[in-house]
Amino acid sequence: MLGLYGFIVGLDIGLLPMGRQMAEQLIATDQVLLVILFGVLIGFATTMAEPALMAISDEAEEISEKRLRSSTLRMLVACGVALGIGIGVLRILTGGSFVGAIVGLYVLALVLMLLAPKDLVPLAFDLGGVTTSEITVPLITALGIGLTAAVPGRDVLMDGFGLIAFASVGPVIAVLSYACIVRLTAAARGATPDSPTRQGA
């Protein structure tokens, strides 16, 4: 309870005002691409610095006997988070349907889950949860709430906090897509590995 209280106070005093100021300055430029690029870069940078991601990536490399490299996994997850946040920011700016966008992304994730090697599916979904941790959540929350406050007609709860949902599904899609590409590449070369962990990533 004390930790949660401290987290909320920290958001209220530091990150949320900073997020509002950043969003207002970005919106004032009237450059949609600049706002999206800023969100993408924030997502990528915070994910690469996420301690939980470092830990699980190192463990995955150790379990796979270094056939699945930690650096590759971290890069995939960071790119996935960046893409998810980019889509989320675009939706906030354009006023698109939150439900339609997030359901569409999860349908894509489910399709990829059926195509990807089965032993990578749990890891992909775990990584989606790992990215919403100590560093990523406060900064992305501040950005989302700041954008919703700066753009008229947006709902703070649905649009602002909803940005985290896009950050969570992005890594799942990125990791599963990579696994499918590796499998197709191996099949084209005449090999039939079950997953990148057995072939080497």
Q: Compute and round to an integer the Cα radius of gyration of the chain.
A: 18
Structural domain count of the chain: 1
pLDDT of the residue at 105: 93
pLDDT of the residue at 79: 93
Nearest partner of 87 among 73, 111, 110, 108, judged by Cα: 108
pLDDT of the residue at 197: 54
- CA dist., res. 139 & res. 98, Å (int): 20
Give me the sign of the Cα torsion angle 20, 53, 44, 87.
Answer: negative
pLDDT of the residue at 35: 86
- CA dist., res. 20 & res. 143, Å (int): 7
Give pTM, 2 decimals. 0.80
pLDDT of the residue at 6: 80
Q: What is the DSSP string of 171-184?
A: HHHHHHHHHHHHHH
pLDDT of the residue at 125: 87
Residues in the chain, pLDDT under 50: none
pLDDT of the residue at 104: 93
Write the pLDDT tens digit of every residue in 96-116.
888 899 999 999 999 999 988
Query: Domain range spanning residue 20?
Result: 2-199
Q: What is the DSSP string of the chain?
A: -HHHHHHHHHIIIIIHHHHHHHHHHHHHTT-HHHHHHHHHHHHHHHHHT-HHHHHHHHHHHHHTTTSS-HHHHHHHHHHHHHHHHHHHHHHHHHT--HHHHHHHHHHHHHHHHHHS-GGGHHHHHHHHHHTSSTTHHHHHHHHHHHHHHHSTT--IIIIITTHHHHHHHHHHHHHHHHHHHHHHHHHHTT---SSHHHH--
